Amino acid sequence: MAAARVSDLHRTAFITGASTGLGRAFAEMLLSEGVRVWGTARDSARLDALVAQHGERFTPVILDLRDGPQAEARFRAADRSAGGFDLVINNAGYGVFAEFAATDFTVWAEQLQVMLINTARLAHAALGGMLERNRGALVNISSLAAEFPLPFQSAYNIAKAGLSALNESLMMEVSGAKVVILDVRPGDYRTDFEGSVRRPQSASAQSPRLARAWTAFVAMMESGPAPAQAAVELRRALLRNRSGTVRIGRFFQAVIAPLIARFGSLALKRRIQAAYFKIS
List, by residue number, the catalytic residues: 156
Burial of 156 (0-12, 13-18, 19+ CB in 10 A): buried
DSSP-derived secondary structure letter, 198: B
Can you say how many angstroms the Cα of residue 65 is from the centroid of all Cα atoms in its chain?
A: 13
CA distance 41 to 18: 6
Detail the DSSP E strand segments found in the chain: 12-15, 36-41, 58-62, 87-90, 136-141, 179-186, 244-248
Q: Phi and psi at residue 254, in whole multiples of 5°?
A: -85, -25
Angle at 160 between CA 166 and CA 123, to 5 degrees: 45
Q: Phi and psi at residue 180, in whole multiples of 5°?
A: -105, 135
